Amino acid sequence: MSKFVSAFREIATYKELLRSQVEHVLIDRLTEFLSVDLQAVKESRYRFDKADSAYDQAREKFASLKKSTHADVVTGLEEDLHNSKSAFERSRFNLEFRQMLS
């Protein structure tokens, strides 16, 4: 009978060790998520909001052009619009990708 009692005590010790190791791994992963992954999503969101604002401003400038505007001004604003749209799309993709990873 004492063999069974000592075996059960040993099993209980291993069970407690396994539980503490699993808990440690889960807490480490959660801490990493909160400190690294979530921060990366926040930064991506900030860059997205900034690019969205710049894209909106470029669209408004381009849309407010008059027919009599010089071609070089139109070309410059069109290029700004294209660049801001590209930056917006990149930041949107990065934000979606970061959110998907989290």
Domain positions in the chain are 1-101
Q: Output the CA angle 56-45-76, nearest 5 degrees.
A: 30
In contact, 54 and 17? CB cutoff 8 Å? no
Give dist(CA 99, CA 61) in Å, integer.
32
In contact, 98 and 40? CB cutoff 8 Å? yes
pLDDT digits 0-9 by tens, 3-45: 888 999 999 999 999 999 999 999 998 898 888 888 888 999 9
pTM of the model: 0.65
pLDDT digits 0-9 by tens, 60-81: 999 998 888 899 999 999 999 9
